[in-house]
């Protein structure tokens, strides 16, 4: 009750004249790749609520994250700045530790500055951020924490013992899932009468590991009928060695281990079950918005912080500059957005900040690096010159256009894929001389310089120091074998 009162108080602090502005419902989903109905990344994916949202809005079919890792990606979304600008590349630190970012207005703060009440529940910032002492300065009101329940023991004994690396049927009912609680809290808040415009962020953690969901969601995907991801046995034969360094030693198991342990199908099935479960929670929130009568004046945006591999390129998880890691769902609906549209122009999560500001009629923040998507929200065929650029650790970048993906690593090695002719990115064309000019043109869009990692950077941090790749503070030898577990 106290939380609800805090929220109502926060939503009462704006001028009455601002009530004509549209609200913003900002829905984030963790580790969701293109295995959703509107993107067609998996033919069996069942996401009826995302399908409904896409039908009343615009889906970007070529949207990409700025970083294939939670903290740098979410930092980029909320600051409107690239990882190569923020210096946030790893799971730590909190971006406010940067002198350059300590007073930078986040998306929440920009809306608050312009008369909006701001609220956040679930995972929007990276886990544990902002620190308790900084919370009031970041967002008007936070929902209560919703701890993740765990089974008595892991279902799968993966090479890495971390409890997060697990999948299986758990708990018995939806009501036992923490993301169900996140949706329940959001539903209650949307039912509260409000006079002022609001920016409400709702963050779901599924399908992030552990991939747990009740049995009914697994039943949607019978194992004997499961369609598995397309993989190629020698897929990594034509990629530079530096590509391996981006995901050198991680908790996520490799495909080799999954196959040997007969866990590939169970993981794919659990991921799909988790996707359908979280789709249902999104549906509950959207239904509550409609029931409140505010849907006609609310901009809804749904996005994922990055994708996830499920065997492609021989790995699971993220931490790569390939399609499976960078491509994300991005759907807008509401006032100012064309209904039932699909846009194939390159889009970046970086663009959320300026796009939402423009849709809401707010002044633009000149400090951000994104580019508004409003032209494409009005006309999906509107031109857009620049590609989507993804960065993973200093000096490693990918530029994605409608036809091409060009990757350049910190040591200068390259990959180039014609993603129209080769959607699985199986044939690296970077060495072909006829593509030299194309690579030069795409390279122009990549950051000219990468900020040094912030002090305290830790958790999947890779640097290239004096010609030596350094993973988590330890040099990688030129002959060290690629970890296969």
The backbone torsions φ and ψ at residue 184, rounded to the nearest 5 degrees and listed phi first, read -60, -45
Domains of the chain: 2-387 (3.40.720.10)
Q: Among residues 70, 177, 211, 343, which one is catalytic?
A: 70
SS3 134: helix
Residue 70 annotated as catalytic: yes
Whether the per-residue pLDDT at 289 is higher than 70: the answer is yes
pLDDT score at 466:
94
Instruction: Give the model confidence (pLDDT) of 255-288 as tens digits.
Output: 999 999 999 999 999 999 999 999 999 999 999 9
pLDDT beyond 80 at 9: no
Q: Return the SS3 of 405.
A: strand
The number of beta carbons lying within 10 Å of the beta carbon of residue 48 is 12
Q: Residue 14 has what pLDDT?
A: 35
**Residue 346 pLDDT:** 98
What does the pLDDT look like over 164-175, one tens digit per residue?
999 999 999 999
Contacts of 162 (CB under 8 A, 6+ apart): 251
* Residue 375 exposure: Cα atoms within 13 Å on the Cβ side: 10
- CA dist 23 → 29, 37, 140, 447, 484 (Å): 20, 26, 15, 34, 48
Strand 211-213 to 198-204 pairing:
unpaired
The pLDDT value given to residue 10: 37
What pLDDT is stored for residue 127 in this prediction? Answer: 87
Nearest one of 139, 131, 136 to 456, comparing CA atoms: 131
Q: What per-residue confidence (pLDDT) applies to 315?
A: 97
User: Two tokens at 337?
Assistant: 């957005």
Q: What pLDDT sits at residue 322?
A: 98
Q: Per the residue annotation, which of 42, 126, 146, 309 is the catalytic one?
A: 126
User: Which long-range contacts does 170-173 make (Cβ < 8 Å, 24+ apart)?
Assistant: 170/212, 170/213, 170/214, 171/212, 171/214, 172/214, 172/215, 173/214
**Least reliable range by pLDDT among 1-10, 80-89, 435-444:** 1-10
Q: Is residue 126 annotated as a catalytic residue, yes or no?
A: yes
Cβ proximity of 459 and 126 under 8 Å? no
Residue 5 pLDDT:
31
Over 50: is that where the pLDDT of 54 sits? yes
Mean pLDDT of 300-313: 98
At 223 the three-state DSSP class reads helix
Distance CA 321, CA 390 (A): 7
Average pLDDT along the chain: 95
Lowest mean pLDDT, pick from 126-130, 158-162, 180-184, 385-389? 126-130
Residue 441: band (very low, low, confident or very high) from pLDDT cuts 50, 70, 90: very high
- Give me the residues paired with residue 470 across strands: 463, 475
Q: How confident is the model at residue 118 (pLDDT cuts 50, 70, 90)?
A: very high
Per-residue pLDDT of 192-221, as tens digits, reads 988 899 999 999 999 999 999 999 999 999
Q: What is the pLDDT of residue 168?
A: 98
Q: Which of 304, 135, 106, 86 is nearest to 199 (CA)?
A: 106
Residue 2 confidence (pLDDT) above 50? no
Range with lowest mean pLDDT among 124-138, 323-337, 372-386: 124-138
> What value does the mean pLDDT take over residues 447-462?
97
Residue 11: pLDDT over 60: no
């Amino acid at each position: 009750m106290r939380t609800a009162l805090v929220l109502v108080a926060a939503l009462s602090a704006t001028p009455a004249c601002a009530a004509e502005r549209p609200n913003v419902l900002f829905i984030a989903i963790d580790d969701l790749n293109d295995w959703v109905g509107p993107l067609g990344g998996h033919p069996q994916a069942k996401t009826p609520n995302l399908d409904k949202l896409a039908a009343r809005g615009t889906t970007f079919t070529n949207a990409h994250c700025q970083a294939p890792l939670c903290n740098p990606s979410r930092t980029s979304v909320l600051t409107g700045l690239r990882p190569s600008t923020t210096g946030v590349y790893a799971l730590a630190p909190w971006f406010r530790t940067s002198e350059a970012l300590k007073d930078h207005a986040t998306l929440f703060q920009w809306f608050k500055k312009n008369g909006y009440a701001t609220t956040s529940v679930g995972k929007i910032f990276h886990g544990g951020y902002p620190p308790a002492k900084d919370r009031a300065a970041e967002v008007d009101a936070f929902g209560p924490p919703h701890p993740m329940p765990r089974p008595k023991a892991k279902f799968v004994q993966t090479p890495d013992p971390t409890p997060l690396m697990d999948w299986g049927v758990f708990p018995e009912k939806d009501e036992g899932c923490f993301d169900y609680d996140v949706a329940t809290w959001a539903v209650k808040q949307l039912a509260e009468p409000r006079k002022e415009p609001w920016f409400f962020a709702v963050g779901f953690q599924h399908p992030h590991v552990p991939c747990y969901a009740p049995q009914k969601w697994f039943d949607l995907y019978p194992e004997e009928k499961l369609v598995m991801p397309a993989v190629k046995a020698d897929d990594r034969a034509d990629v530079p060695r530096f590509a391996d360094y981006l995901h050198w030693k991680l908790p996520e198991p490799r495909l080799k281990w999954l196959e040997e342990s007969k866990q590939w199908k169970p993981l794919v099935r659990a991921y799909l079950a988790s996707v359908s479960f979280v789709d249902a929670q999104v549906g509950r929130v959207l239904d509550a918005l409609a029931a409140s009568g505010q849907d006609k004046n609310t901009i809804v945006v749904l996005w994922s912080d990055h994708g996830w591999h499920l065997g492609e390129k021989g790995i699971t998880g993220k931490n790569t500059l390939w399609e499976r890691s960078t491509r994300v769902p991005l759907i807008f609906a509401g006032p100012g957005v064309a209904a039932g549209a699909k846009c194939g122009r390159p889009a970046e999560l970086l663009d959320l900040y300026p796009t939402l500001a423009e849709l809401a009629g707010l002044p633009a923040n000149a400090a951000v690096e994104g580019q508004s998507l409003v032209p494409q929200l009005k006309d999906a065929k509107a031109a857009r010159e620049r590609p989507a650029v993804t960065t993973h650790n200093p000096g490693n970048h990918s530029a994605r256009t409608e036809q091409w993906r060009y990757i350049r690593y910190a040591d200068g090695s390259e990959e180039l894929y014609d993603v129209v002719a080769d959607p699985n990115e199986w044939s690296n064309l970077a060495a072909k001389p006829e593509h030299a000019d194309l690579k030069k043109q795409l390279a122009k869009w990549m950051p000219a310089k990468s900020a040094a990692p912030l002090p305290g950077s830790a958790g999947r941090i890779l640097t290239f120091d004096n010609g030596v790749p350094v993973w988590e503070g330890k040099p990688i030898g030129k002959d060290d074998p690629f970890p296969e577990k």
